[in-house]
Amino acid sequence: MENATKLLNVKKLLKKYSMTIALAVVFIMFAILTKGKILLSQNISNLLLQNAYVLVMACGMLLCILTGGNVDLSVGSTLCLVGAIAAQFMSAGLNPILTILICLVISMLIGIWQGFWIGYVHIPPFICTLAGMFLFRGLGRVILSSKTVNIADKTFLGIFTNYISVPGLDDGNIKWSAFAVGVAIAVFLIVYTAVSRAKKSKKGYTMSSSLIAYGKIVAIDALVVAYAWKLANYKGIPVMLLWILLVVLLYAFITSKTAFGRYFYAVGGNEKATKLSGIDTKKVYFVAYCSMSILAGFSGLLVAARIGSVNGDMGMSYEMDAIGSCFIGGASAYGGSGTVPGIVIGALLLGVINQGMSICGLDNNWQYVVKGAVLLVAVIFDVVSNHKTGKA
């Protein structure tokens, strides 16, 4: 009997961390296939930078999907439009800080536009954002006059693409500041876990077993330190990583801790019941789509800075990367469930596959085939293992 319950627990655990395990397996597989090239410091460092836009936009997309499996198709176009505006403003000589602020305000206006139609006029999100996809792509190309506009402003590029360098510490080949930050985070995580567990046991709440809790934290710590070491061996901590962390942590906090974050889950779980509980469901939709556009615009700045130029095709099909990450990361296609850590895993899985295949030299077209298959398999796995058979 005890063995049986143990087996059941192991099964549960495997199910809960299935995507994390998949990520590890895929990563190891590519490490072997690329003969370790994917493990090079430069590649590890670039993995996140290349996928910055996916991580940032997946956070916003999660809110949209939570409301009932709704997606925002316009984000790739919004990204292009905002990037185009930034590029043109700066080539006209506008101050880069002012440019960034204006771009974020424009993103918010786009968000208000979409959120208003979807939340308050009940236009189906799919159609409204499909229209947005054409609208903003077109406007972006008009602003660029169908040309590629370069961004030369050093301040602007620096805000997004610099590496943190502490004089005296990071002068050598190894950027010790990165490693130090990694170790500090690892120590903080352990202390935080211990303190919060002590608090819980004092109040007499039930907790997960200490073996699992500490095992988990040690594994995370090992990864953090290893990652920090890799960064230290390349150019140090990229500023873009900080931007990503800012967004991811903010959204993780909103969705798991705040009352308003709770409402997104409630609307996706049962909209009618949510409304009758006195929750403003229109506002929930509005905020979801508004925040999505702001993040899309912000990603526009990230991508523009990373590439150093903007053209009319920038951000093409990026919406699918964001949506795919959410679903691979375990967000329900029917709404009401999904977490930020989950979608981060989803985005990383997609990112590792992309990078691994590129290093292997696999044809671009085949990469699409693999991505599609991974998405389908992930969702099938999710639906079958959780017995989520449609709305019933």
Which residues are near another protein by CB under 8 A?
Answer: 200, 203, 205, 257-260, 262, 265-266, 269-270, 272-280, 336-337
Any idea how long the chain is?
A: 392
Number of CB atoms found within 10 A of residue 94's CB: 14
**Among candidate residues 384, 318, 283, the one with its CA nearest the CA of residue 18:** 384
Q: How far is the CB of 135 from another protein (least distance, A)?
A: 32
Q: How far is CA 273 from CA 101, 187, 205, 280, in A?
A: 39, 44, 30, 11
Q: How far is the CB of 124 from another protein (least distance, A)?
A: 17
Q: How far is the CB of 325 from another protein (least distance, A)?
A: 22
Q: How far is the CB of 252 from another protein (least distance, A)?
A: 13
Q: DSSP assignment, residue 37?
A: G
Q: How far is the CB of 67 from another protein (least distance, A)?
A: 13
Angle, helices 239-257 vs 340-360, to 10°: value is 150
Angle, helices 52-66 vs 318-328, to 10°: value is 60
In the three-class reduction of DSSP (H, G, I as helix; E, B as strand; rest coil), residue 67 is classed as: coil
Helix ranges (DSSP H) in 204-238: 210-233
Q: Which two tokens mark 1?
A: 């009997």
CB 329 within 8 A of CB 346: yes
Q: Which two tokens mark 208?
A: 């997960």
Q: How far is the CB of 283 from another protein (least distance, A)?
A: 11
Number of CB atoms found within 10 A of residue 334's CB: 15
Q: How far is the CB of 277 from another protein (least distance, A)?
A: 4
Looking at the Cβ atoms of 77 and 339, the one nearer to another protein is 339
Looking at the Cβ atoms of 242 and 384, the one nearer to another protein is 384
CB 333 within 8 A of CB 379: yes
Looking at the Cβ atoms of 65 and 374, the one nearer to another protein is 65
Looking at the Cβ atoms of 266 and 375, the one nearer to another protein is 266
Q: Which two tokens mark 206?
A: 């039930």
Looking at the Cβ atoms of 277 and 385, the one nearer to another protein is 277
Q: How far is the CB of 153 from another protein (least distance, A)?
A: 38
**Among candidate residues 286, 323, 329, the one with its CA nearest the CA of residue 112:** 286
Looking at the Cβ atoms of 257 and 317, the one nearer to another protein is 257
Q: At a CB cut-off of 8 Å and minimum separation 6, what does 82 contact? A: 103, 106, 107, 296, 297, 300, 301
Q: At a CB cut-off of 8 Å and minimum separation 6, what does 262 contact? A: none
Looking at the Cβ atoms of 145 and 258, the one nearer to another protein is 258
Q: What residue type is 390 in one-letter code?
A: G
Looking at the Cβ atoms of 9 and 258, the one nearer to another protein is 258
Looking at the Cβ atoms of 276 and 384, the one nearer to another protein is 276
Q: How far is the CB of 190 from another protein (least distance, A)?
A: 22
Q: What residue type is 349 in one-letter code?
A: L
Looking at the Cβ atoms of 172 and 257, the one nearer to another protein is 257
Looking at the Cβ atoms of 35 and 200, the one nearer to another protein is 200
Q: How far apart are CA 354 and CA 360, in angstroms?
A: 10
Q: How far is the CB of 390 from another protein (least distance, A)?
A: 13
Number of CB atoms found within 10 A of residue 44's CB: 18
Q: Which two tokens mark 37?
A: 């090239």
